[in-house]
Structure formats: C-alpha cells, structure tokens
Structure 1
C-alpha cells in the first residue's frame, strides 16, 4: 500500500495537542533537508547539506519518500533508514504536478506542459512515457490501481481520467458526468477518489467510473 507522507515545513503540534483537537494525522517528522545521498551523485549544499527550496508534491513507498522540488527543478529521494536526500532526476519547468511511487518501485510523474506522464525506474532511468493524444492534454495527477495494475491519469483540461495498461497502452476513458473540474485523484478500497475543485468536494467512483 502506498504511504501518504505529510511534510510539515512550519510549525509543529505535539501528539497530545493533536489528539485533543480530534485530528486524524499526527506530526511525524519535520523535513526541510538532509545530508546528500549517493543516488546519481546527490545534490550537495553548503556544509554537505541538501535543503529543500520549494517542495510541491510527495509520494512514498516503503523507506523511500519522493519529493518534487519546483525551486530546485528536481525530484529528490529521501531514504528514511539512511536519512539522506539524493537527486532522483532533473525536471523541466512545470513538470511534476503529481507523482506516484508504484508497487514495482518505479515512479510516475505528470508533465502538464507536454501532456504526458513520465515514467522512471527505481534508479532514475527513464522508461517510456504515457500519452494519449486527443484525450490527455494536461495531466495533473496519477495513481496506480494496485489490485489490477492499471495506471490512472487525471486530465485537468478535459476533466476526465485516462486509464492505461501497466505497459503504457491507453485502455479507456472515465468521464465523470457530475465532476466539474478534476484537480487530483487517489485510490482506495472504495475505488477512485476525485477532487472536484469547483464543486468543493471529493467524489468516489468505482473502478469502472460509476458513482459510489
């Protein structure tokens, strides 16, 4: 199961205070940077410390936490066991609106500027990207159906979800009629959770696109 990691960049509540307020999530770690790792040479800062500049997206799998930093234009991988940050890959401007660490240890990254989803192996090696001309114009979010292996990509221009096979072939289109503006998607035991920014709600869809 994919881990959801919360980055707390300013302020930190104690567990007791969080419990008193009835919060479901408790602060775990405040991550502003770390010592450089060895993957692809790392990104060393002053005194051997890599500091985050403008983190915009995060995904995690096992001990690896992937951070999209728009300021550094890089994806960094934080290793919880070693407590190091390593440069996973370099990004073009406007790349990295969404990121997903898949069960096979590969990583998917949305690239809205060119209308595709980048795909990387665990060591940062580029794999064939995902695209669907005419149906995928502005990918903003990506998840993997961990039960069936399909890759689901939310398009913020057409407000639909493009379903790909695990080999990157387009399979189908999910067009939720009651969703006005898709901002992000996530997967869970009930199916697909869709953030509708205009309706200010989260819609729940089955894997076939039906409303739950």
Structure 2
C-alpha cells in the first residue's frame, strides 16, 4: 500500500490537480496492459479476510500506475505483481475504506466500472519544435485510450503513436498552430473529437482543457 500523489507510470503528474485524487491503484503488469489500462476504474471489495470491514460494499479506484514484478520473490509471497498474477496495489486511503491497512495483503473481488469524470478531457503537452508528446487525462467512460490523433490549424489529422502510459506522440512541427485532438477509447471503441483545445500560442509544459468527454 502506497499513497500515490504524483508521478507514476501513466504520466498523470499531480493526481490531485489532474482530477484523480487519492483513490488510486497501481496495476500488476497483467492488468496494466503496457499502459492501455491507464485511467480505467474498478470497484474493489475485500473478501474472505478477518481484516475486511463489515457492511462495506466496495471502494472505487482509478488505475494511475504500474506495480512492477519482483522476480526475486515468489508470486505468493512478495512477488504479488509478478505475471500472470492479477494484483491491485491500492493507495492507503483507498485500502482503508475496505479493510484494516495493517493486514497488508487481502483477497479481493473486483469488476470494471465506467469512470465518472467531471469537466472535460485534459491534455498536457511536452516535447520540442519537431516532436509533440501529449498526456491525456480525466478521461470518462472506459477511462482508457487506444488511439489518438492531433490536428494543427494548418494540417490535416495526424495519427499519434503510443509512447507509454497515457501519452501519445507525433513527430511533427505544430508550434504556432492551434491544436485539436481526437481520441478513441480502448474498451468502448468510442471516438470523440476535442476541437481547438490549445490556442496557437500554446506552450510546452502546460495543460489545456477540452469541453468534451466520454460518458
């Protein structure tokens, strides 16, 4: 159990300012799916343990990080995130909603659920004059992203390649152009377009909000 506040393999940065809060989880690599599970939401319930809190149905968490394998440990004693094991390394606040945190490891039951996100999509832009790296955050619906495109005010749609986690990249010169984005959900296959997200004077290192989101 770790309190995840910032950083993480999904690249969400500060989880408070970017809409994820403290009810987060790091997924074992089997669930993480090379980053395509970033942003997905789960209901998790403690099961068959004396540490479980009675009369607590479940807690809802968002995947924001990877729990890496520990090959020096067996998967039933320390190497909890080793493939092919399914494991949730929950933040302490989320864990404490369903069980006594001193238990450390508990059996759970879980299910995927839609992500209810307020506000629109958020895009943090990195890179340089010839390379754009965009982190997409606060994704509703399935919470995940399988494909992303960018359009400058002087270009057509450019397909971006998956970098890692929730980041996508385009090797194009887009500085000085207003930017629009199109994203597709990994789980629901729905595609939405966010027009004119970043103005022509956008800057690297800043986050820009769109007024659309998956439902």
- Which structure would you say has the larger Rg? 2
Structure with bigger strand share is 1
Q: Structure 2 length normalisation: TM-score? A: 0.28
Structure of greater relative contact order (alpha carbons < 8 Å, 6+ residues apart): 2
